[in-house]
Structure 1
Amino acid sequence: MALLTMNTESKYLRANQAFSMILPDMPRECDPTDFYSEHRALPVVWLLHGTFGDHTDWVRRTNVERYAAKKRVAVVMPSGMNTSYSNWSRAMLGYDMYDHVLHELMPLVHNWFPVSDRREDNFIAGLSMGGRGALKFAVNNPERFAAAAALSASPRDFATLTPEYLVESGPVAERFARAIENAGGLDAYLASEENTWRVIDERAASGTLPRLLFACGGDDAYVMDDLRPFQDHARQLGLDAEFQIRDGFDHEWDFWDLAIQDALDFFGLPDVAEDRV
């Protein structure tokens, strides 16, 4: 595979930004001039990291490069800092990560690289914070993605959110409290793209949502507490969603290395190449 790191200035982040990208290698039997001059509309997987991570996480901690090579698929891995892939217009000079991905990174990749911009060729996945981000992008923009995979992540029913939760210690509760403040209050937050439970409810009947995969380690108690009620809710909605629970795994890279393979298969991407020695 070809592994690229691109640095570019971002209008929406008001700063320089880096992302990594995997592109398939040329098959050894091909002529280089023919291969590189031919337009190749490759399918694309947009792959998001979790809290405390960056655009290098998936490449450093899993074998995603090998898995992408077998599928001959491009993989784009942005850096989202700890933003939850949300717009933070009042942070620094403004750091609008949601808009950056949709209105800047996707047009850049679709127009500068040999990849397809068709809905049926674009997929999105992520782990933990990135799983919530992938779900948010997918259900709010169903015209862009054929399928999405939320790994160790789930929509949350904010009807169950208690005032006590928002004052609990810990980075998760603190992040939700700050996200609600950033949105302009709880009512504004619930009405925004952040509330994926509500968006799924509103769009489920229309049949326009992408196919959804939810994968979680069976020992990941925090995520499973949200995923179980959502799984029941999805069944009641008749949602086109698959749930995969792997017992013996927690919130960990050993699980995510397996889960991203399941996600690529769920996306319907066939194996078209063998591992190269």
Structure 2
Amino acid sequence: MAFLQANVYSNILEMEVSLNIVLPQKTEKKIGTATKGSLSDVPVLYLLHGMGGNHSVWERRTSIERYVADLGLAVIMPSTDLGWYTDTTYDMNYWSFISEELPKICHELFPQLTKKREKTFAAGLSMGGYGALKLGLAKPENFVAVASLSGAVNLADRPEDLLALKGKKYWEGIFGPLEEMQGSINDPMFLLKQLVADKKEAPKIFLCCGEDDPLLYGNKMMAKALSEHDLEHTFETGPGNHDWIFWDQWIQRVLAWLPIESEKKA
């Protein structure tokens, strides 16, 4: 595997953005992890950070590079600040960047990456879990599977969860008036209903959350809604809280769940 650190310019954000990238590389090592992945049409996972994190946090807090070594999977880890994968009211369009511009930048810089839906995935934790689910529901034509680890996936229905973290001014800077969040593009429940109404092909969805996590209730409600709409999904809970002990363990479960053709799974 190759681990790359890049600074790219976003025309949408009008600023430099940092990325960490794990790319399959054919290697032969006497000691370590030899890899033999394909170097064309490479499946790709967009892996999103949570609040307080950035492009480096998955690499620093987990063994993500080692976990994907035998999967032939590229991992793109962008920094999106505290923008909640949203086109904010203060004119920083993080949603447009992550959903439209970032894939174009990555395909320009790394032409070996697949452009096929059936090989493109998104996942994230907490704020990033919200972002990954939003990508899957709002852009189902681009993602075959998305995973949310301890995601804030029902926040439009539970503004009290938001206000427990930061003040109202912050959240309204991101989303606008909180009372108008329901029924908007920033409401995953609304995106779910819209996807079903439009009869679009939904991605496979994986939700997981720790049994002691304050976001567990919201994840249960999202899982219930997915069941009611008969969408293919997996919802699992286990011991743990809203922390890296849980996420390091469960990202391995997510990787095993992803529909990847690989030497390890063969």
Interval containing the TM-score (normalised by the shorter chain)? 0.7 to 0.9
Question: Counterpart in 2 of 1:117?
Answer: 115
Higher helix share: 1
Match of 1:266 among 254, 257, 263: 257
- 2:248 corresponds in structure 1 to 257
* TM-aligned CA distance change 1:271 to 1:172, over 3 Å: farther
Residues 174, 238 of structure 1: alpha-carbon distance in 2 compared, 3 angstrom cutoff? farther
The change in CA–CA distance for 1:168 and 1:49 in structure 2 (over 3 A counts) is closer
Distance 2:10 2:253 in 1: 33
Please state whether the residue corresponding to 1:103 is helix, strand or coil: helix
Deviation at 1:173, TM superposition (A): 6.2
Q: Is the aligned partner of 1:97 residue 2:91?
A: no
- Check the 8 A contact 1:43/1:115 in 2, yes or no: yes
* Bigger Rg, structure 1 or 2: 1
Counterpart of 1:233 in structure 2 is 225
Count of aligned pairs between the two proteins = 256
Equivalent residue number for residue 208 of structure 2: 215
Question: What's the counterpart of residue 69 of structure 2?
Answer: 69
Unaligned runs of 5+ in 2: 30-37
2:129 touches 2:153 (CA, 8 Å); kept in 1?
Answer: no
Distance 1:72 1:118, change over 3 A: same
Q: Secondary structure at the match of 1:203?
A: helix
Letter in 1 for 2:138: N
Alignment of 1:1-277 (within 5 A): 1-28=1-28, 40-88=40-88, 90=90, 94-113=91-110, 114-156=112-154, 158=156, 160-161=157-158, 165=160, 168-171=163-166, 175-181=170-176, 186-187=179-180, 189-204=181-196, 206=199, 208-220=201-213, 222-247=214-239, 249-272=240-263
* 1:34 aligned residue: none
CA distance, structure 1, for counterparts of residue 162 and residue 51 of structure 2? 20
Contact 2:140 2:200 in 1 (8 A): no
Rate the CA distance shift 1:71–1:259 in 2: closer, same or farther, 3 A. Answer: same
User: Shift of the alpha carbon at 1:97?
Assistant: 1.1
TM-score, scaled relative to structure 2: 0.87
Other structure's SS at 1:71 match: coil
Q: Is the 8 A contact 2:119 2:260 kept in 1?
A: no
Scaled by the length of structure 1, what TM-score is found?
A: 0.84
In structure 2, the CA distance between the partners of 1:207 and 1:63, relative to structure 1 (3 Å rule), is same
Q: How big is the shift at 1:22?
A: 0.2
Residue 33 of structure 2 is matched in structure 1 by: none
**Structure 1 residues 167 and 98, CA gap change in structure 2 (3 angstroms):** closer
